[in-house]
Amino acid sequence: MYKVLITGGSGFIGTNLLLFLIEKYEILNIDIRESNLTELQKYTSIVDITNYENFRNVVIGFSPDYIIHLAARTDLNGKFIYDYSANTVGVSNLMKIIHELPKLKKLIVTSSMLVCHTGYYPKNQFDYAPNTLYGESKVETEKIVWDNKPQCDWAIIRPTSIWGPWFGVPYRNFFDMVISRKYFHIGRKSCTKTYGYVGNAVYQIEQILFHETLNEDQKVFYIGDNPPTNIEIWANEIAAELNFDIKRVPFWMLKIAAYFGDLLKLFNITFPMTSFRLKNMTTDNTIDLSETYKIAPNPPCSRIDGIKATLQWLKK
């Protein structure tokens, strides 16, 4: 049985990945916090990946055949790039440690689609255009990997907008707003984006892990669902499962609400709408997933499957 090390397995994608893999492989999860699921806690070692010695000791002791590096700070609230040290120092530590793992067969390092801002389409895998500190930190993640290329096979994955059980902001908020009937269609400004149900995301990650990705011209793989999703259709599908219809409000009304949210944010008061969020909700962002689908052509879940599973989880 292969030994698979997962970092960040107590997070959203990590929790789903552990549940997907624990029956198939010998698993160790390294995370700064315990898993929220009691049944996963026995697979977890509490380690701060920015502490080189502690991180090294646990990794070397486990001696994995495969590594999936998910651990990261992923919110947008950092004030300085060093607030995202897990995404820089932690990755540097990992890239040093793996050179002491002679039997390592494959490494996957997780980046983010936010290495490019919404609506920007990169020309190649080195074309970056972040507009957040988090995005900048993930650019550093990728550069560290390229500058310290492993001797084994490796790949970088960029999750798109992933949603499903155990998720948090912002897509948990989207579901909560639809469920509570606080979500409204925005005038005629419906947008289409690449989202990904987490059940399909973990399938794609496993396929990439066990598929050779030796071509250095194709080391970056986006994680998400094809075709892209129109947000109105998605919201309507959620509402249909709950037997109600979604109302529509004029765009100018939400624009005012967004300005009000911007004002409250200055006083550290949370409001469900800001200009940043409104722009994100009304800007198309479709990602080319063709390289991922060559490796993982048969995602197991439809969007409706994902909606049903997510609503069931939210009821618990």
What are the tens digits of pLDDT across the range 15-37? 999 999 999 999 999 999 999 99
- Mean residue pLDDT of the chain comes to 95
Number of domains in the chain: 2
Same domain assignment for residues 60 and 179: no
Confidence of residue 214 (pLDDT cuts 50, 70, 90): very high
Both 177 and 145 in a single domain? Answer: no
Residue 34 or 186, more confident: 34
pLDDT band at 272 (very low <50, low <70, confident <90, very high): confident
Burial class from Cβ neighbours inside 10 Å (0-12, 13-18, 19+) for residue 147 reads exposed
Residue 261 belongs to what H/E stretch?
helix 251-266
Q: Is-contact 8 71, C-beta < 8 A?
A: yes
Instruction: Report pLDDT for 276.
Output: 84
| Pair 137, 276 in one domain | no
Confidence grade of residue 283 (pLDDT, cut at 50, 70, 90): confident
Query: Two tokens at 104?
Result: 């390592």
End-to-end C-alpha distance for the chain, whole angstroms: 34
Q: Are residues 83 and 61 in the same domain?
A: yes
Q: SS3 of 293, please? A: helix
The Cα–Cα gap between 214 and 205 comes to: 16
Please tell me whether residues 7 and 37 are part of one structural domain. Answer: yes
Residue 75 has pLDDT above 90, yes or no: yes
Any domain includes 212: no
Residue 33 is part of a domain; what is its CATH number?
3.40.50.720
pLDDT at 187: 82
Question: According to the model, what pLDDT value does residue 181 have?
Answer: 95
| Whole-prediction pTM | 0.93
- State the pLDDT at residue 141: 98
Share of the chain above pLDDT 70, in %: 100
Same-domain check for residues 185 and 112: no
Give mean pLDDT, residues 6-18. Answer: 98
Q: Residue 12 in contact with residue 46, Cβ under 8 Å?
A: no
- Whose CA is closest to 191, among 235, 154, 153, 149? 235
Q: Within a 10 A sphere around the Cβ of 33, how many other Cβ atoms?
A: 10
Amino acid, single-letter form, for residue 246: I
DSSP strands (E only) in 26-104: 26-31, 44-46, 66-69
Say yes or no to pLDDT of 108 above 90: yes
Residues 251, 150, single domain; the answer is no
Q: Is the same domain home to 122 and 9?
A: yes
The tokens of 202 are what? 């973990």
pLDDT at 74: 96
